[in-house]
Amino acid sequence: MPTKICVILDGGYVRALCKQSHKLPKDPDYIEKIAKACQGQNEVIHRIMFYDSGGFTGTAKQPVSGQPRQFTANDKWLHDLSYKDLFSIRLGVLKFRGFVLNPSKIPYTPGEPLTDADFYPDFEQKGVDMRIGIDIANLSANQSVERVALATNDTDCIPAMKHARRMGLQIILICFPGFRPAPELLAHTDFRREIQWPE
């Protein structure tokens, strides 16, 4: 009998690595290929859970001019991903944290005038690690799968990983080409699985 697994993808982490590797970070078809690459021999995917946040939509006052800046988001790619077989989308919230001075302007030269273009918006994703933890705990409770293939580098997931292992699930940490996972995550993992970027 094949081993049933749940593939859990931390979208922010996976997309950041895709971008660094010149892959397609917001292409639903490519994300589906990544998820399927996490499946090992003699395993069958029960569900694919993708955790991310939609883009930020709103208005913020710019730091120099004080003029409003409008942010809009196109989240069609997330909707398209949600229609794919076996996919379940879990959304956190993207919070605007203010404008930050560009590194090229640090250290700041006194007397040099700054413009709005010298700042970039700072966003923080909230609630994703909590949702991953809850879902891993639910998988542990209902025993719907035997393994969890987890693609993240967020050490906040460790308590959920430890709980799952105590409940009898096996944790597979997905590792991407050229990127080293946090050692703390490896300490609470049953298997480390290296995958290649799909073509």
What's the rounded mean pLDDT across residues 2-11? 97
- Range with lowest mean pLDDT among 16-25, 42-51, 144-153: 16-25
- The model's pLDDT over 71-128, given as tens digits with 9 standing for 90+, comes to 998 999 999 999 999 999 999 999 999 999 999 888 888 888 999 999 999 999 889 9
Contact 128, 52 (CB under 8 A): yes
Q: Percentage of the chain surpassing pLDDT 70? A: 100
Contact 99, 122 (CB under 8 A): yes
Q: Tell the CATH superfamily of the 3-56+72-91+124-194 domain.
A: 5'-nuclease (3.40.50.1010)
Rounded Cα gap, residues 100 and 44, in angstroms: 45
HEC letters along 115-174: CHHHEEEEEEEECHHHHHHHHHHHHHHHCCCCEEEEECCCHHHHHHHHHHHHCCCEEEEE
- The model's pLDDT over 18-46, given as tens digits with 9 standing for 90+, comes to 999 999 999 999 999 999 999 999 999 99
Residue 3 has phi, psi (to 5 degrees) of -85, 130
Q: Is the pLDDT of residue 177 over 90?
A: yes
Instruction: Give residue 105's pLDDT.
Output: 86
Sheet arrangement for strand 43-53: 119-126, 87-101, 43-53, 3-10, 147-151, 170-175, 191-194
Instruction: Give residue 112's pLDDT.
Output: 86
Instruction: Give residue 107's pLDDT.
Output: 87
Q: Is the pLDDT of residue 140 over 90?
A: yes
What's the rounded mean pLDDT across residues 125-144? 94
60 burial via Cβ count (<10 Å: 0-12, 13-18, 19+): middle
Q: How far is CA 175 from the centre of its chain?
A: 13
